[in-house]
Every structure is written in structure tokens, then in C-alpha cells.
Amino acid sequence: MLIHQTVSEFLDTTASSSPAPGGGSVSALAGALGAALTSMVCRLTIGKKKYAAVEADMQASLAQSEALRNQFLSLIDQDTAAFNGVMAAFGLPKETDEQRSARESAIHDATRQATLVPLELMRTLQRALPFTAIVAEKGNKNSASDAGVAALLIGSAARGAALNVYVNLSGLPENAFRRDTEQETRGLEQKIVTESDRIAATVRSSLTGAS
């Protein structure tokens, strides 16, 4: 499993000639890193007398960000597995009409699944961002930059996940699933990126004094 590799091993695997892991798994990793930084800011705030008033918020945010971090980790491997499923479907025999029909159906099903994984990543990113906003606003000010980086990672992950949805949708016929998925993806990307940029800009302003 990819998530059991060292950082160097994961980077080597990504940099290899193998098409997977690719942008989808890397986007999920970015989400996991954003959640990890959110958790770190929580832990650097919890127990500090100066932040006693937000202790409950930090505890709750920590529990949620850690749960979401585990979901992001799972999506790293899910994305690569989904891509491998598409490749396996394309490798099915196509000598007879029956084989071609079965192959086409398998490709359609595998591509649909490969679309749903980055879409689920986007949904998970949307659930994670409010906790990053909380730590950016209320967390330890010495870790403000970390909260800002968390927000930027989540925004980048959303952009990457959206690209992976679109590339898979392009291989599917025009139907309700394709239209509904594209519409949801566009809405999620806009909301996540807008909010991640807002958080990062607020953090930057607090650090530089610039509006």
C-alpha cells in the first residue's frame, strides 16, 4: 500500500514511469497533509492557559481533523486502485462481439468508479476546511502560518481532485451521472478554493499587517 511507504519511496514511485500513483493520489496526500497541520495547531493550542477559552473548540477540531486525515490516507490508495481498475478493463480481450461488449461495460464501470474517488476526496476536503478555519482563527498564534499552509494544501487538493473528476468524466457518455457529477464538482471546487484562499489571506494579513 502506498500509505505504508516512506516519503522517499512514495516520491520515487510517483516519479517513476508508472502512471499511478498520479495526480489523484497526490491530491489526497495534500489533503492528508492539510489535516495533519490542522491537528498540529490544535495540539499546540490545547493545554495552553492563554487559550483556555478555546480548549473545547480545539479538542473537537482535533478529533474531527484526525478522523478526516485517516479518510484522506485511505483515498490515496483508493485512487490508485481505481486507476488500476480502469487499466485492467482496457486490457480485457476484444476478439468477439461478446468480449467487446463485456469490455466496454467493464471500462464504463471502472471509469465511473475512478470518477467517484476524487469526487469523494472533494467532499472530504469540504468537511475538513471548517476545522482549519477554526484553528486559523482561534489557534496558537505562533502556528498561524501552519494553519495557512493547511488551508492552501486543502485548496490545492480540491483543484487537483476536480481535474481528476473531469478527466474521467471525459471518458463517459453524456448522461445524468456525468452532468450531475460535473455540476457537483464545479460547486465544490469553487466553495473550497474560495474558503481556502480566504483563510490563507486572513493568516497572511495577521502576519504582515497588510489587508
What would the pLDDT profile of 46-88 be if each residue is shown by its tens digit? 999 999 999 999 999 999 999 999 999 999 999 999 999 999 9
What residue type is 164 in one-letter code?
Answer: N
Entry field: residues in the chain: 211
| Whole-prediction pTM | 0.94
The helix (H) or strand (E) run that includes residue 151 is helix 144-169
The answer on pLDDT for 210 being more than 70 is no
21-208 has which CATH code?
1.20.120.680
Give CB contacts under 8 A, 24+ apart, made by 107-110: 107/171, 108/172, 108/173, 110/82, 110/85, 110/86
Q: How far apart are the first and last CA of the chain?
A: 44
Inform me whether the pLDDT recorded for 197 exceeds 90: yes
The ranges assigned to domains in the chain are 21-208
Q: Over range 97-104, report the average pLDDT.
A: 94
Average pLDDT over residues 104-126: 97
